[in-house]
Amino acid sequence: MTDTASSWSELFERRNAAALITLSLGIALHAFNAFLVTTALPTAVVEIGGVELLSWSSTVYLVTAIVGGASAARLKRAIGARRAMALPALVFLAGTLIAGLATSMPLFLAGRALQGIGEGIISALCYALIPELFPSRLIARVFGVEAMVWAIGAFGGPLIAGVLTETISWRAAFLVNVPVVLVLLALVAKVVPAAPGAGDAGGRSVPLARLAGCGLGIMLVAVAAIVGDIPTALLLILGAAAILVGVFAVDRRRPDRLFPSDAFAVTTTVGLGLWMILLMPVAHASSSTYLAISVQYLWGFGPTVAGLVHATMALSWSGSALLVAGIDDPGRRRALIRLGPFLVALGLLGIAGSMRSDLPLALIPCQVLIGTGFGISWAFLSQAIMEGARPGERDSASGILNAVLSSGYALGAAIAGLVANTAGFTPTSGAAGIVTPIAIAIAVGIGFGLPAILAGFGVRLPPPSSGR
**Residues 278, 285: contact at Cβ < 8 Å?**
no
SS3 2: coil
Region 173-180: what's the mean pLDDT?
90
83 compared with 74, residue with greater pLDDT: 83
Residue 426 has pLDDT above 80, yes or no: yes
User: Taking Cα atoms as reference points, which of 417, 434, 414 lies closest to residue 425?
Assistant: 434
User: Taking Cα atoms as reference points, which of 90, 111, 103 lies closest to residue 33?
Assistant: 111
Residues 6+ apart with CB under 8 A from 44: 108, 170, 171
> What's 169-196 look like in SS3?
CHHHHHHCHHHHHHHHHHHHHHHCCCCC
Quick: pLDDT tens for 326-362: 888 889 999 999 999 999 999 999 999 999 999 999 9
pTM: 0.84
As its CATH architecture, domain 258-463 has Up-down Bundle (1.20)
Residue 108 has pLDDT above 80, yes or no: yes
Residue 14 has pLDDT above 80, yes or no: no
pLDDT on residue 467: 46
373, HSE (Cβ side, Cα atoms, 13 Å): 29
Query: Cα–Cα distance between 415 and 126 in angstroms, integer?
Result: 30
Quick: pLDDT tens for 391-415: 888 888 888 888 898 888 888 888 8
User: Taking Cα atoms as reference points, which of 264, 293, 289 lies closest to residue 276?
Assistant: 264
Residues 6+ apart with CB under 8 A from 241: 217
SS3 51: helix
Distance of CA 253 to the CA centre of its chain: 27
φ/ψ of 462, rounded to 5, equals: -70, 160
Q: CATH top-level class for 11-192?
A: mainly alpha
Residues 6+ apart with CB under 8 A from 360: 295, 298, 299, 301, 354
Q: If 0-12 CB within 10 Å is exposed, 13-18 middle and 19+ buried, where does residue 300 land?
A: exposed
Residue 442 has pLDDT above 90, yes or no: yes
Residues 6+ apart with CB under 8 A from 242: none
Least confident of 14-28, 61-75, 157-171, 366-380: 157-171
Query: Cα–Cα distance between 43 and 90 in angstroms, integer?
Result: 27
What are the residue boundaries of the structural domains of the chain, listed by start? 11-192, 208-255, 258-463
Give the dihedral of Cα atoms 227, 233, 235, 240; nearest 10 deg.
80
User: Taking Cα atoms as reference points, which of 330, 13, 323, 3 lies closest to residue 143?
Assistant: 323
pLDDT on residue 465: 54
pLDDT on residue 459: 93
56, HSE (Cβ side, Cα atoms, 13 Å): 13
Give per-residue burial for 272-299: e unless 16+ CB within 10 Å, then b: bbbbbbbbbbbbbbbbbbbbbebbebbb
CB atoms within 10 A of CB 355: 26
